[in-house]
Amino acid sequence: MPMNLFLAPINMVDVKSIRRASISFSFFFLIFVTQACASEPEWNQAMHRHHTIEGFRNYPIVEDPPSLGFSFYLRRFISSFSSPDVPKSHIMTEKNAISLYKELNDKNTITWIGQSTLLIKIDGKAIITDPFFTKYASPSPIGPRRYVDPGLSPENLPTIDVILVSHNHYDHLDSNFIESLDNKDEIQVLVPLKLKSFFSERNYKHVHELDWYEADSIYNIRFTSLPTVHYSGRGIGDKNKSLWCSWAISSPRGQYYFIGDSAYSPSIFKEIGKEFGSFDLAMVTIGTYGNRKYGVNNHTTPEEAVTIGKEINAKALLGIHWGTIDLSDEDPWEPPKRFEEAAKKSGYSHEDIWIFKIGETRKLPGY
**pLDDT tens, residue by residue, 224-245:** 999 999 999 998 899 999 999 9
**High-pLDDT (> 70) share of the chain, %:** 86
Q: What is the pLDDT of residue 5?
A: 35
- Name the band, by pLDDT with cuts 50, 70 and 90, for residue 47: low
Q: Where residue 67 falls among pLDDT bands split at 50, 70, 90?
A: low
Place 312 in a pLDDT band, splitting at 50, 70 and 90: very high
Higher pLDDT, 296 or 3: 296
Indicate if the pLDDT at residue 175 is higher than 50.
Answer: yes
pLDDT over threshold 70, residue 39 = no
Stretch 313-319: mean pLDDT: 98
pLDDT at 159: 98
Identify the pLDDT of residue 45.
52
Confidence of residue 73 (pLDDT cuts 50, 70, 90): confident
Q: Is the pLDDT of residue 269 over 80?
A: yes
pLDDT at 192 over 90: yes
More confident residue, 2 or 45: 45
This prediction's pTM: 0.86
In this structure, of 170-174, 290-294, 361-365, the range with the lowest mean pLDDT score is: 290-294
Please tell me the predicted confidence (pLDDT) of residue 224. Answer: 98
SS (H, E, C) the chain: CCHHHHHHHHHHHHHHHHHHHHHHHHHHHHHHHHHHHHHCCHHHHCCCCCECCCCECCCCCCCCCCCCHHHHHHHHHHHCCCCCCCCHHHECCHHHHHHHHHHCCCCCEEEEEECCEEEEEECCEEEEECCCCCCECCCCCCCCEECCCCCCCHHHCCCCCEEECCCCCCCCCCHHHHHHCCCCCCCEEEEECCCHHHHHCCCCCEEEEECCCCEEEECCEEEEEECCECCCCCCCCCCCCCCCCEEEEEECCEEEEECCCCECCCCHHHHHHHHHCCECEEEEECCCCHHHHHCCCCCCCHHHHHHHHHHCCECCEEEECCCCECCCCCCCCCHHHHHHHHHHHCCCCHHHEECCCECCEEECCCC
- Whether the pLDDT of residue 50 is over 90: the answer is yes
- What pLDDT does 293 receive? 78
Weakest mean pLDDT among 56-65, 168-177, 276-285? 56-65
Q: Label residue 11 by pLDDT band (50, 70, 90).
A: very low
pLDDT category, 55, cuts 50, 70, 90?
very high
140 vs 266, higher pLDDT: 266
Per-residue model confidence (pLDDT) at position 247: 98
Confidence of residue 291 (pLDDT cuts 50, 70, 90): confident
- The chain-wide mean pLDDT, for the chain, equals 87
Model confidence at 63, pLDDT cuts 50, 70, 90, reads: confident
With cut-offs at 50, 70 and 90, classify the pLDDT of residue 141: confident
Mean pLDDT of 82-95: 94
Higher pLDDT, 41 or 287: 287
Confidence of residue 35 (pLDDT cuts 50, 70, 90): very low
**What's the whole-number mean pLDDT along residues 359-367?**
94
Given a cut of 50, whether residue 341 has pLDDT beyond it is yes
Q: Which residue has the higher pLDDT, 298 or 336?
A: 336
